[in-house]
Amino acid sequence: MQLILKSAQGLHINIQGDDAAGLLKISQLCELLDINYNAVRQRIFRGETVEQAITYFLNQKGGGNA
């Protein structure tokens, strides 16, 4: 699992969700985005990619296409 986030300000984040350090980064990203890490983790373990899981919850909040 890999997630690469890019922003207009030039911030690029590369997150691998297949080890403890990557999962810690995902939990910190979830905190920044104000989404539930446990729910994201559940979706990842059900077979979704990190990107799909986070995008799902961002869309639920209404911020996915901002």
Residue 64 pLDDT class (50, 70, 90 cuts): very low
Tell me the per-residue pLDDT of 2-59, one tens digit each, with 9 for 90 and over. 555 555 555 555 666 666 666 677 888 888 888 999 999 899 889 988 888 888 998 8
CB 1 within 8 A of CB 16: yes
**pTM of the predicted model, to two decimals?**
0.63
b/e map 30-59, b = 16+ CB within 10 Å? beeeebebeebbebbeeebebeebbeebbe
Tokens for 10, please give them.
């030039």
Q: How many CB atoms lie within 10 A of CB 12?
A: 9
